[in-house]
Structure 1
Amino acid sequence: MARRISVAQRRSDFINAAVEVIATHGIDGATTRRIAEQAQANLAMLHYCYDSKDDLFADVYAFVSGRFRDVVKAIDPRSDLRDTACQLLRGVMECYLESASFTAATIELISWARRQHGGRGIAVYDQALETVRDVLREASSDDPVEAETIDQIAYVIASLADGFAVNWFTYGDRDAAARHMDITASVLDSWLAVRLGCAPVAP
């Protein structure tokens, strides 16, 4: 007797399949038929789980955001501002390195949202930056720093993470990307040492 798969599990399957299809074919090529085939399900099941393609893509956005929230949750709450910033950057880079498809789909989703919906693409990025700023503010609560400093740290983290993602996406060399993670992390640490007036951490 075949095991019955729950709707929740099927939705998870379709979300993961959509990430793979978006990474390979882009948003425009991510048809419901391709997504269903990638999930090894029939098209009727996809339409049973989702009323529309937009509903599915909304869950894909939520999935991507959730991955980044997981990075935030993994940060040691006892960390100071500098260590928190370094953990954020490394966590995001590890999230990208874990899956080339996730990296490609994330870049495509933000680019597509910016092209098609303007403000929505900006809002997705703004939300991610605000999450980073919130974590940095919390980490500096015992030794507060200026809001401008928090903004600068968040910007540098985002710029370094984005640069890493584009490089990994472009070349697809996992060994090189792993080495680049250490280089990128050292760039942030050196910049923080200057900005916060402390000695850089020895490699």
Structure 2
Amino acid sequence: MARMPSAERRTQLTEAAIRAMTRDGVARTTTRSIAAEARVSLSVFHYCFDSKQALLEAVIEAITAHCLTVVREAIRPKPTLRETIRAGFQAYWDHVCAQPGEHMLTYELTQYALRQPGFEHLARRQYALYRDTYAELIRQLGRDTGAVPRVPVGVLAGYLAAMTDGLTLALLVLGDEKGAAEILDVITDHVEGLMDA
């Protein structure tokens, strides 16, 4: 086995955990199955992660980062503020449609954390990360376009996190992509109305 810096090894194991959990579910995924998925020894896994909580937190952060990367690129300024906002939502939505299992995993992680004594903070951390991610994107939008929210950034970020979270779950349950796109248009109009350009 090739030697690899520990940060890279953690990333490798986190991505392997995402694949294994998406395929097998959180409860049925073991440290052994993650190590096998990553093609490393169990001792390497335990060297990189000292607890299941640390692994789950890394998984939550990695899945959020996957979305953040595509949305951050998408909200580069377009001819209008509305087009810029809608492009960000579309990038997120394209990721949901391309990776439904990964997004389904986020809901399973939440439920797992809430049901496991001592893991509840992971669910709170997950939703705080969603809000913080939206706050970062709102600030980027402001820097790039000069748009200023009419409501506090934290409030708007919480609203967007709740809206997209609910819409994502509805798509996973109902499979109505057309209906979801229409809802994203309404959310886009609402967000644009909450910004001073």
Q: Partner of 1:167 in structure 2? A: 171
Structure 1 residues 166, 17: CA separation in 2 closer, same or farther (over 3 Å shift)? farther
Structure 2 distance, partners of 1:148, 1:12, is 34
Question: Which moved further from structure 2: 45-54 or 134-143?
Answer: 134-143
Contact 1:85 1:153 in 2 (8 A): no
Alignment of 1:27-38 (within 5 A): 27-38=26-37
| 2:104 matched residue in structure 1 | 104
Matched, 1:45 2:44: yes
- Tell me the percent identity: 21
Instruction: Specify whether residues 12 and 134 from structure 1 end up closer, same or farther in structure 2 by C-alpha distance, changes over 3 A only.
Output: closer
Amino acid at match of 1:18: A
The more displaced of 116-125 and 24-33 is: 116-125
TM-score normalized with structure 1 length: 0.70
Q: Is contact 1:137-1:150 (8 Å) kept?
A: no
CA distance 1:151–1:38, shift in 2 (3 Å): same
**Alignment partner, residue 200 of structure 1:** none
- What is the root-mean-square deviation in Å for CA atoms of aligned residues? 3.4
Give 1:121's match in structure 2, choosing from 120, 123, 134: 123
- Name the counterpart of 1:189: 185
Larger Rg: 1
Cα shift readout 1:129-172 (whole Å, capped 9, x = no counterpart): 2432443355356353420799468635642454334533x47x
Amino acid at match of 2:101: S
For residue 21 of structure 1, what is the aligned residue in structure 2? 20
Report which stretch shifted further, 46-55 or 61-70.
46-55
Task: Give 3-state SS (helix, strand or coil) of 2:74's partner.
Answer: coil
For residues 47 and 12 of structure 1, what CA distance do their matches in structure 2 show? 14
Unaligned runs of 5+ in 2: none
Question: Residue 23 of structure 1 contacts residue 105 of structure 1 at CA under 8 Å; is this kept in 2?
Answer: yes
Cα 1:23/1:166, change in 2 over 3 Å: farther
Contact persistence 2:72–2:137 (CA under 8 A) = no
Structure 2 counterpart of 1:188, which letter? L
- Asked if structure 2 preserves the Cα contact closer than 8 Å seen for 1:23 and 1:108, the reply is no
State whether residues 13 and 45 of structure 2, in contact with CA within 8 Å, keep that contact through their aligned partners in structure 1.
Answer: yes
Q: Offset at 1:71? A: 2.9
Q: Is the 8 A contact 1:114 1:121 kept in 2?
A: yes
Provide the aligned length of Structure 1 versus Structure 2.
Answer: 187
Q: Pick closer, same or farther for the CA change 1:118–1:50 going to 2, 3 Å.
A: closer
Supply the distance in 2 between the matched residues of 1:21 and 1:160 (Cα, whole angstroms): 25
* Offset from partner CA, 1:36-93 (integer Å, 9 cap, x none): 1222333223223333333332322221221132134213332454334322322222
